[in-house]
């Protein structure tokens, strides 16, 4: 076990070198000690190491006297639902989200789907694990199965009027997770063209992350060959949603955040909408135009959820494909944005490309570019160098470093889940984007190699 598995808002590491059954047992024990639950839900994604780690977590909890509701192989947003909907005191799922197959980890919640982050429990759990905490109650907790799918789907459907959804043809790429089964179970008036719909924890085609361009080619090709109205894809644990228009063009999560942000803002004047600092101009403009109040917040599901509760925000979105809803316990969900978009596309009578055309025309973006970091990379020194170099721009340090000029803007930040430095640039024109992006990229490369 390595302490580096304890991230800013969850726990992830390579199995079994960095995280194994003994580690997960200890984490479950620490969770029980810290939050004192009587009954929790416990699920997992489809990864090959999932069953063994699930068993370890279950033992850690039941040894501590905690009852476990086994919710089976789930999407992460199903765990959020179960934690809030049923009479339980918390929830855990064994998952490493979109990370490559060799990874696994845990996401943990408190009662009511309250998030656990580095600021609200993960550091305490880390301390207990590292000090060897262990406790065995005289009477062990019990394990019982709990089928949550019907209740979960009913909750998701409450966000839309199914009668308004037209018989669209939709490519549905499950990335080998269980989400296609959920979409089929919704019994929507759509024609589903399935892709990678059989759950497979070996992820035979690589990391289950549609944000990676190389993972989009199949979806693009199938949208075109099937003459679909749109394409939809999810990551490995299906808490992130991705959209493709009828031409197969990928619609960035940034544009979806702006589009849905305006949709929710228009429902009540003064509605607060939260977005991350990586790309901001489109969301700010759309939400303000719809009468809402855009609020910038640090990246990460725990931090977004905490801010949503504080502000009572109706909606939040991240360019990574996470979308959060006040009426879904202030949590993220990958199925709800899909359903809302089906309804809005149907009602508008427009093609997906037409609905998002203004965003592509006005807001030019680089796409997220990642730089691999070595154990000796000095990120604080790099950020300080960039701040000095671009000292005449508007500086923001909500998350990493954001630098803004009238016609272009950049955010650079270290990933909270992987040894990567992430860069996002937006500009008022494609020419400005290309010029400033290359200049910024070259400066980072030179500094990392120096």
Q: What is the CATH number of the domain that holds 212?
A: 3.40.120.10
Question: Which letter, b or e, does each residue of 369-382 get, where b requires 16 or more Cβ atoms within 10 Å of its Cβ?
Answer: bebebeeeeeeeeb
Q: Which of 126, 147, 168 is the last residue of a domain?
A: 147
> Using one digit for the tens of pLDDT, what is the confidence trace for 95-150?
999 999 999 999 999 999 999 988 889 999 999 999 999 999 999 999 999 999 99
**Residue 8: pLDDT band by 50, 70, 90 thresholds?**
confident
CA distance 262 to 443: 36
- Is residue 314 in some structural domain? no
Q: Which of 251, 286, 309 is the last residue of a domain?
A: 251
For residues 88 and 134, state if they share a domain.
Answer: yes
Task: List the beta bridge partners of residue 317.
Answer: 275, 323
Query: What is residue 305's predicted lDDT score, i.e. its pLDDT?
Result: 94
The tokens describing 173, both together, are 């790429």
Query: What is residue 359's predicted lDDT score, i.e. its pLDDT?
Result: 98
- Is residue 308 in some structural domain? no
> Using one digit for the tens of pLDDT, what is the confidence trace for 269-288?
999 999 999 999 999 999 99
For residues 110 and 162, state if they share a domain.
Answer: no
Query: What is residue 419's predicted lDDT score, i.e. its pLDDT?
Result: 84
Query: What is residue 416's predicted lDDT score, i.e. its pLDDT?
Result: 77
For residues 106 and 156, state if they share a domain.
Answer: no
The tokens describing 450, both together, are 């120096």
Query: What is residue 442's predicted lDDT score, i.e. its pLDDT?
Result: 94
> What's the structural domain count of the chain?
3
Query: What is residue 191's predicted lDDT score, i.e. its pLDDT?
Result: 98
pLDDT at 333 over 90: yes
**Residue 215: pLDDT band by 50, 70, 90 thresholds?**
very high
For residues 27 and 133, state if they share a domain.
Answer: yes
For residues 112 and 229, state if they share a domain.
Answer: no
Q: What is the CATH number of the domain that holds 368?
A: 3.30.310.50
- Is residue 290 in some structural domain? no
8 A C-beta contact, residue 43 and residue 79: yes
> Rounded to the nearest 5°, which phi and psi values hold at 422?
-105, 135
- Is residue 84 in some structural domain? yes
DSSP E strands, 213-300: 230-234, 241-244, 250-251, 272-275, 293-296
DSSP E strands, 241-351: 241-244, 250-251, 272-275, 293-296, 315-317, 323-325, 331-332
- Is residue 302 in some structural domain? no
Concerning whether 97 is annotated as a catalytic residue, the answer is yes
Side-chain half-sphere CA neighbours of 402 within 13 A: 19
For residues 139 and 160, state if they share a domain.
Answer: no
For residues 157 and 115, state if they share a domain.
Answer: no
DSSP 378-413: -HHHHHHHHHHHTTTSEEE-SSSEEEE-SSEEEEEE
Query: What is residue 430's predicted lDDT score, i.e. its pLDDT?
Result: 98
- What's 166-216 look like in SS3? CCCEEEEECCCCCHHHHHHHCCCCCEEEEECCCCCCCCCCCCCCCCCHHHC
For residues 222 and 87, state if they share a domain.
Answer: no
Q: Which of 235, 251, 267 is the last residue of a domain?
A: 251
Query: What's the full length of the chain, in residues?
Result: 450
CA distance 175 to 193: 14
pLDDT at 1 over 90: no
- Is residue 206 in some structural domain? yes
Pairing of strands 169-173, 11-14: unpaired
pLDDT at 84 over 90: yes
| Burial (CB count <10 Å: 0-12, 13-18, 19+), residue 245 | buried
- Is residue 287 in some structural domain? no
375 Cα distance to chain centroid: 26
Query: What is residue 448's predicted lDDT score, i.e. its pLDDT?
Result: 82
Please state the pTM of the whole predicted model.
Answer: 0.96
For residues 140 and 159, state if they share a domain.
Answer: no
For residues 137 and 157, state if they share a domain.
Answer: no
Q: Which of 99, 101, 39, 98 is nearest to 70 (CA)?
A: 39
DSSP 31-99: HHHHH--SEEEEEE-S-TTHHHHHHHHHHHHHHTT-EEEEEEE--HHHHHHHHHHSS-SEEEEE--TTS
Query: What is residue 228's predicted lDDT score, i.e. its pLDDT?
Result: 98
Query: What is residue 118's predicted lDDT score, i.e. its pLDDT?
Result: 84
Averaged pLDDT, 76-88? 97
CA distance 57 to 79: 15
Candidate list 95, 97, 302, 346, residue with the active-site label: 97
CA distance 18 to 5: 7
For residues 63 and 171, state if they share a domain.
Answer: no
- Is residue 278 in some structural domain? no
CA distance 11 to 118: 10
CA distance 278 to 275: 9
Min mean pLDDT across 93-102, 385-394, 417-426 is at 417-426
CA distance 88 to 223: 41
Provide the Cα torsion 135, 136, 138, 140; round to 10°. 120
The residue range of the domain holding 177 is 152-251
For residues 33 and 58, state if they share a domain.
Answer: yes
Averaged pLDDT, 315-332? 97
> Using one digit for the tens of pLDDT, what is the confidence trace for 177-190?
999 999 999 999 99
Share of the chain above pLDDT 90, in %: 92
């Amino acid at each position: 076990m390595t302490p580096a598995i304890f991230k800013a808002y969850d726990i992830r590491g390579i199995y079994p070198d960095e995280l194994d059954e003994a580690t997960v047992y200890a984490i479950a024990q620490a969770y029980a000690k810290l939050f004192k639950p009587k009954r929790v839900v416990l699920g997992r994604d489809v990864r090959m190491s999932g069953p063994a780690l699930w068993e370890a977590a279950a033992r850690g909890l039941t040894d501590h006297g905690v009852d476990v509701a086994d919710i089976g192989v789930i999407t992460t947003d199903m765990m959020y639902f179960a934690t809030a909907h049923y009479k339980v005191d918390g929830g855990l799922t064994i998952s490493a989200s979109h990370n490559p197959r060799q990874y696994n980890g845990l996401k943990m919640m408190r009662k009511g789907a309250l998030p656990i982050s580095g600021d609200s429990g993960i550091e305490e759990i880390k301390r207990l694990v590292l000090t060897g905490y262990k406790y065995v109650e005289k009477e062990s907790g019990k394990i019982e199965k709990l089928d949550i799918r019907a209740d979960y789907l009913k909750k998701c459907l409450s966000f839309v009027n199914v009668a308004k959804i037209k018989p669209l043809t939709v490519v549905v790429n499950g990335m080998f997770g269980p989400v296609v089964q959920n979409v089929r179970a919704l019994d929507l008036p759509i024609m589903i063209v399935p892709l990678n719909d059989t759950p497979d924890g070996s992820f035979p085609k690589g990391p289950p992350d549609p944000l990676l361009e190389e993972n989009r080619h199949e979806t693009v090709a199938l949208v075109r060959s099937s003459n679909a109205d749109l394409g939809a894809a999810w990551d490995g644990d299906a808490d992130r949603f991705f959209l493709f228009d009828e031409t197969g063009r990928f619609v960035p999560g940034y544009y979806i955040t702006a589009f849905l942000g305006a949709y929710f803002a228009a429902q009540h004047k003064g509605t607060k909408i939260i977005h991350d600092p990586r790309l901001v101009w489109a969301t700010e403009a759309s939400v303000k135009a719809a009468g809402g109040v855009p609020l910038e917040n640090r990246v990460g599901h725990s931090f977004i959820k905490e801010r949503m509760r504080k502000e009572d925000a109706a909606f939040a979105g991240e360019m990574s494909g996470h979308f959060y809803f006040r009426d879904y316990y202030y949590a993220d969900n990958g199925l709800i944005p899909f359903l809302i978009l089906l309804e809005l596309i149907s009602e508008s009578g427009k093609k997906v490309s037409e609905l998002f055309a203004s965003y592509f025309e006005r807001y030019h973006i680089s796409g997220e570019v990642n730089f691999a970091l070595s154990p000796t990379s000095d990120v604080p020194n790099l950020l300080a160098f960039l701040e000095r170099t671009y000292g005449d721009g508007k500086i923001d340090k909500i998350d990493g470093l954001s630098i803004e000029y009238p016609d272009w803007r950049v955010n650079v930040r270290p990933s909270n889940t992987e040894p990567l430095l992430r860069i996002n640039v937006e500009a008022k024109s494609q020419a400005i984007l290309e010029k400033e992006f290359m200049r910024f990229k070259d400066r980072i490369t030179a500094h990392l190699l120096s």
